[in-house]
């Protein structure tokens, strides 16, 4: 099968700046400071400033940014951390690696973001923090989060892995809570040439502890004040990210323009059950992903739609097909199917469409036309003929 419209096309991003990228890599090669080098320090400062906060600490991955970041905020054994069931598994793994107890809650079916009303009901005397996952490029309401934190005396630790330079209600992603975790996985809005992550914070003590934790717990060479690990953002990756950072605002604007065209083109399919995830952030949404729901009124099931788009050469994704509480690895947490009905329902409906800077207007029209063609000829399977079973089995 020929891919006509890929889900992500990084070549469009890299080709115009290929010479600059090669030059910054050459500088690092000549300097030879591959670990904790100058390019890392420069990028840490630049990304923190762009995000409206004070300190950045580069680590090996977004997962490490969560796990070590929580530890740097003194969150661990005996503490409960609230997070949404509708998130990538790295959020949950980060809490567990920090030694804390994850407390999952449901999501808002319109935005797919954490349901703060559900979070309120999950507060206990052991609740230390809440992790609002800024999903798909849209921040959780900052006003509501600040009210939540003030009322219940908990820390806000942002998972901003999909929300580089996102904004909402006067805050940038990464500037709201005690700390925030970012990922620089290659397909992110700001992506490296491999894995990478960063913790942002305005708290100097958190930043200093994070720097120790990422480097074997050492405050200085061969002097280890705590049990840390080896998790450092490579200088080469930092050089690439720093070179790309000035282009990020325009890339984000391009994503917003693409999303706005998708919204317009898809509007006529609303009565056919094709519903985009709601944007409540206006121009502050940075659209790491553009996600639609194939709801129960649609004559075509999600799987059928995805298969037919694939056959037409259009790549799509599902973010995410199995909620955290139903993942086989985490049955020990004690959750069951039915505990988080909105997250479970979304997992069966959502479909991520191609989204990247450089996606053309004609390609967007082609994607939507293909969706319309499938929907117009679709028919749902008879439930009595469906295969018996569930993802929780």
Residues marked as catalytic: 188
User: CA 156, 106, 351, 378: dihedral to nearest 10 degrees?
Assistant: -160
The CB density around residue 40, as the number of other CB atoms within 10 Å, is 27
Tokens of 392: 């929780």
Q: Do the strands 167-168 and 127-130 form a parallel or antiparallel pair, or are they unpaired?
A: unpaired
Residues in the chain: 393
| Cβ atoms of residues 284 and 176 within 8 Å | no
Distance from C-alpha of 334 to C-alpha of 341, rounded to nearest angstrom: 16
Q: Beta partners for 83?
A: 104
């Amino acid at each position: 099968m020929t891919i006509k419209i890929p889900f992500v096309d990084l070549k469009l991003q890299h080709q115009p700046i290929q010479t600059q990228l090669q030059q910054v890599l050459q500088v690092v090669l000549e300097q030879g400071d591959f670990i904790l080098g100058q390019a890392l320090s420069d990028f840490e400062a630049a990304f923190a400033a762009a995000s409206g906060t004070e300190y950045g600490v580069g680590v090996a991955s977004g997962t490490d940014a969560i796990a070590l970041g929580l530890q740097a905020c003194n969150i661990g054994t005996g503490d409960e951390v609230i997070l949404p069931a509708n998130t990538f598994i790295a959020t949950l793994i980060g809490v567990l690696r920090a030694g804390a107890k994850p407390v999952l809650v449901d999501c808002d079916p319109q935005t797919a973001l954490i349901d703060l009303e559900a979070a309120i009901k999950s507060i206990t005397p052991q609740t230390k923090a809440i992790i609002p996952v800024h999903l798909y490029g849209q921040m959780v309401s900052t006003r509501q989060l600040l009210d939540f934190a003030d009322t219940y005396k908990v820390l806000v630790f942002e998972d901003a892995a999909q929300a580089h330079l996102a904004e909402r209600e006067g805050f940038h992603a990464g500037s709201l809570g005690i700390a925030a975790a970012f990922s620089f996985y290659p397909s992110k809005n700001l992506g490296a040439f491999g894995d990478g992550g960063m913790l942002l914070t305005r708290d100097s003590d958190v930043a200093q502890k994070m720097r120790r934790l990422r480097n074997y717990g050492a405050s200085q060479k061969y002097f280890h004040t705590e049990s840390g690990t080896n998790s450092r953002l490579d200088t080469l990756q930092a050089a690439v990210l720093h070179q790309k950072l000035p282009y990020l605002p325009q890339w984000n604007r391009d994503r917003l323009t693409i999303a706005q065209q998708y919204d317009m083109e898809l509007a006529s399919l609303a009565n056919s059950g094709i519903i985009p995830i709601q944007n409540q952030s206006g121009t502050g949404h940075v659209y790491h992903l553009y996600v639609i729901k194939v709801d129960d009124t649609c004559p075509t099931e999600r799987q059928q739609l995805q298969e037919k788009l694939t056959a037409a050469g259009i790549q799509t994704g599902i973010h995410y097909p199995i909620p955290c509480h139903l993942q086989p690895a985490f049955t020990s947490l004690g959750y069951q199917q039915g505990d988080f009905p909105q997250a479970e329902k979304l997992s069966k409906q959502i479909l991520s469409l191609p989204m990247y800077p450089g996606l053309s207007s004609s390609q967007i029209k082609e994607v939507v036309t293909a969706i319309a063609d499938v929907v117009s000829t679709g028919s749902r399977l008879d439930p009595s003929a469906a295969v018996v079973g569930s993802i929780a089995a």
